[in-house]
Amino acid sequence: MTNPAAHFQQLRQHIRDELATVLDFDAACITTIDPATLLSTGSFTDEPIEEIHDQLFQNEFLKKDVHQHESLAKGPVHAASLVQSGEYLNSERYQHILSPKGWADELRAALVIQGECWGIASLYRQKGKEPFHEQDIQAVIHQTPTLAAKLRDELFKKRDTEADDSANQQGFIILSHDHTLLYGNETGLHWLHTFQAFEQIHDRAIMPRPFRALSAKLLYGGSTQTAAIMTRMPTGLFLSLQAFQLEQAAGQAEAVMIHIKRAQTSDILPYAAKTYRLTEREMNVLDCLLKGQSTKEIASTLFISTHTVHDHVKAMLQKTNLSSRRMLVYFFSNI
């Protein structure tokens, strides 16, 4: 069995290594993200970039800059180089973070497949080397659907969920404006330390990427009052993390509370639909199945024929590689 503490880091590093076979770069940051919110669920970051990681986080949410994650994920162009695009002179990220640290160029790519973004690859070249060329950008674009599919399919890969006494408890932690831990209950601290172990963070003062992303979204994201992500732990457990910006008392600095709990089936189903490419109508049928409705009841509820219900169930069985309606219900009731 793969060591769960290293599992996702190995996956992100594998993506980095795959990109290294098609173009040259000196450092990389491979970030997995929640496709619903486009917030980080973790990253593999080469050490030279790790030292400016917090500055990059702040730039992503505090500044309106070029080639930001959301614009690449949602826009018509999913990959771009600061220098090749000519935008480096207009980029605070380049002028105030990258260039002073000796970086000549940054190539960012959103790992998108079928309209959904599952990760961001950020690649860097040092000064003294040529910036990324158009052929480098095209090489990354050619790779991104395959890499995105790996991230998407990994989310629901079959794994034996390990028992965890904290899984059914509510966890809370409170972070300061600079992502420093202020308070936490026992369960919240358990999950914080678990995330740190899975990201191989040995300094307890350093927040894991999902916690930093949620905090940064609230503190630097303008008027946003709440932010949320869902992530799967390497052990197989799905967790829901929701952050709330706390009201400031007189003379007190801003703070963020993060609520951590086991994700419910209703939280997970939209991600499962993306992973197994279920259509909207198939999701409607699945919802009825999970409520225990018969074929006739589903047909009546959705105003379709019983034959069409059977067709949708058959399609879902093929997409999930399951053999019966009963197994389909069991699978989606226990993810």
Query: Using one digit for the tens of pLDDT, what is the confidence trace for 256-288?
Result: 999 999 998 888 888 888 878 899 999 999 999
Rounded to a whole number of angstroms, the distance between the first and last alpha carbons of the chain is 20
pLDDT greater than 50 at residue 133? yes
Residues 206-219: what's their mean pLDDT?
Answer: 89
What values do phi and psi take at 329, rounded to 5? -65, -45
Report the C-alpha gap between 263 and 136 in whole angstroms.
Answer: 39
CB 128 within 8 A of CB 104: yes
251 pLDDT band, cuts 50/70/90, is low
pLDDT greater than 80 at residue 223? no
pLDDT greater than 50 at residue 323? yes
Between 63 and 11, the higher pLDDT residue: 11
CB 209 within 8 A of CB 31: yes
Which tens digit of pLDDT belongs to each residue from 18-70?
A: 999 999 999 999 999 988 888 888 888 999 998 898 899 888 887 789 999 99
Average pLDDT of the residues of the chain: 88
Residues 140-167: what's their mean pLDDT?
Answer: 79
In this prediction, residue 10 carries a pLDDT of 82
Report the C-alpha gap between 228 and 307 in whole angstroms.
Answer: 39
pLDDT greater than 80 at residue 158? no
pLDDT greater than 60 at residue 332? yes
> How would you class 201 by CB atoms within 10 Å of its CB: exposed for 0-12, middle for 13-18, buried for 19 or more?
middle
Residues 111-126: what's their mean pLDDT?
Answer: 94
> How would you class 305 by CB atoms within 10 Å of its CB: exposed for 0-12, middle for 13-18, buried for 19 or more?
exposed
CB 240 within 8 A of CB 65: no
Residues 180-203: what's their mean pLDDT?
Answer: 91
Domains and CATH numbers, the chain: 4-155 (3.30.450.40), 171-266 (3.30.450.20), 276-333 (1.10.10.10)
In this prediction, residue 266 carries a pLDDT of 82
308 pLDDT band, cuts 50/70/90, is very high
3 state SS for the chain: CCCHHHHHHHHHHHHHHHHHCCCCCCEEEEEEECCCCCCEEEEEECHHHHCCHHHHHHHHHHCCCCCCHHHHHHCCCCEEECCCCCCHHHCHHHHHHHHHHCEEEEEEEEEEECCEEEEEEEEEEECCCCCCCHHHHHHHHHHHHHHHHHHHHHHCCCCCCCCCCCCCCCEEEEEECCCCEEEECHHHHHHHHHHHHHCCCCCCCCCCHHHHHHHHHHHHCCCCCEEEEEEECCCCCEEEEEEEEECCCCCCCCEEEEEEEECCHHHHHHHHHHHCCCCHHHHHHHHHHHCCCCHHHHHHHHCCCHHHHHHHHHHHHHHHCCCCHHHHHHHHHCC
CB under 8 Å to 71, separation ≥6 — which residues?
none
Report the C-alpha gap between 214 and 93 in whole angstroms.
Answer: 20
Burial 131-168 (b: 16+ CB within 10 A, else e): bbeeebbebbeebbeebbebbbebbbeebeeeebebbe
In this prediction, residue 11 carries a pLDDT of 86
Residues 60-83: what's their mean pLDDT?
Answer: 91
CB 105 within 8 A of CB 88: yes
